[in-house]
Amino acid sequence: MVLDVGWDKATSREVRDWVLWLGQASKPRNSSRTTSIVTAGTVNPMTRKRYLGDQYEPRTVRHGNAVLRSFYEFWIELGGGPLVNPVVLDRRGRRPNAHHNPLEPFRAEGRIRYNPKVPKRTPREIPDERWNELFAELRSNRDRAILSVAISNGARAAELLGVRGVDLDWGEQLVRVFRKGSDAEQWLPASPEAFVWIRLYLAELGALEPNEPLWWTLRRRDHGEGLRRQPMNYEALRAVFRRVNALLGTNYSMHDLRHTAAIRMSRDEALSMRDVQTILGHTHLSTTADVYLVEDEAKVIRRVQQHLVEHERRAQQPAPVPAVGYDDADLSVLFGGQPQ
């Protein structure tokens, strides 16, 4: 029930009110903020990344609307819901795929009417010096291994955490992952350094069955079968970044390694955007190009600053003096400009 309206009686008016409420509501929390209360919603001065705030992000609202629309479509097909989906599309009189590029696949069109606009943010890579600082603060070969793999090929956290012993090809230096969403199998390259750290980590871990998870917790826990290591999960991986971020004053996450790997590959002239798309596992090439085919803001600023300095230097240079035998007035008539 929303505003005392049953789910099967909801209209687009209730959906509008729901979206407006999400735009000003605060997210529920299991516990109150402690150290993060100061940084919530602010921008980290070192990484220039924004900390998560207490409000719902526009992407979260849009995702919720998409799920809600699918929910109503399901019940409408079964005949148990309303006759019309209250989460309506805002086509603005256009025919779907009216200007479709024949070289691109068809994509579902129709923006949900009350979706909030999402500001376009340029993905930021971790600079080499920051990456070296982050890597130096890692305390275990396990952490060094998993982060080395991530920055080699840009695999997602969930994909890497699902890697088993049998998913390593030591000869070709490949790691097999199962892609998020499609669950498609794909072998990804990893750097020689990453495999060195994996080897050191496995030497400390001991015997590992081929079908067992590759990544395990460092501490042993008793869950009724004695003290045993547990398969590493996403929360344990987040704890690695929480500790490093606290030491460095940063707010990096596992996804920043994916951005860094993608930007590094996209700037390599030996790799095409199709190569980058394949490694990242994007369905559409446009997704890869739109996100990662961008200029580095810091490098652009440096080039413009150099341009301004050069322009100022040229303005201060004295005008060239005509060679002996040439009249200054004649030269100004021939080439234009004022006589010197």
Rounded Cα distance, 237 and 243, in Å = 10
The predicted structure's pLDDT at residue 133: 96
Rounded Cα distance, 51 and 157, in Å = 19
- 232 to each of 161, 170, 188, 241, how far by Cα in Å? 7, 22, 21, 14
Q: Is a pLDDT exceeding 80 seen at residue 95?
A: no
Rounded Cα distance, 45 and 251, in Å = 10
The predicted structure's pLDDT at residue 1: 47
Residues 125-166 pLDDT 10s:
899 999 999 999 999 999 999 999 999 999 999 999 999 999
- 253 to each of 47, 125, 139, 199, 242, how far by Cα in Å? 11, 11, 17, 24, 9
As a three-state string, the secondary structure of the chain is: CECCECHHHCCHHHHHHHHHHHHHCECCCCCCCCHHHCCCCCECCCCCCECCCCECCHHHHHHHHHHHHHHHHHHHHHCCCCCCCCCCEECCCCCCCCCCCCCCCCCCCCEECCCCCCCCCCCCCCCHHHHHHHHHCCCCHHHHHHHHHHHHHCCCHHHHHCCEHHHEECCCCEEEEECCCCCCEEEEECCHHHHHHHHHHHHHHCCCCCCCECCEEEEEEECCCCEEEEECCHHHHHHHHHHHHHHHCCCCCHHHHHHHHHHHHHCCCCCCHHHHHHHHCCCCHHHHHHHHCCCCHHHHHHHHHHHHHHHHHHHHCCCCCCCCCCCHHHHHHHHCCCCC
Whole-model pTM: value is: 0.74
What's the distance, CA 296 to chain centroid?
Answer: 15
Compute the mean pLDDT over every residue in the chain, rounded to the nearest whole number.
Answer: 86
Higher pLDDT among residues 178 and 97, named by residue? 178
| Token pair recorded at residue 16 | 């509008």
Residues 230-254 pLDDT 10s:
999 999 999 999 999 999 999 999 9
Whether residue 197 contacts residue 141, with contact meaning beta carbons closer than 8 Å, is answered with yes
Whether residue 70 contacts residue 61, with contact meaning beta carbons closer than 8 Å, is answered with no
Bridge-based pairing of strands 185-189 and 216-222 is unpaired
The predicted structure's pLDDT at residue 40: 83
Rounded Cα distance, 1 and 210, in Å = 50
Bridge-based pairing of strands 227-231 and 111-112 is unpaired
Confidence of residue 54 (pLDDT cuts 50, 70, 90): confident
Confidence of residue 284 (pLDDT cuts 50, 70, 90): confident
The whole-number average pLDDT for the span 33-42 is 79
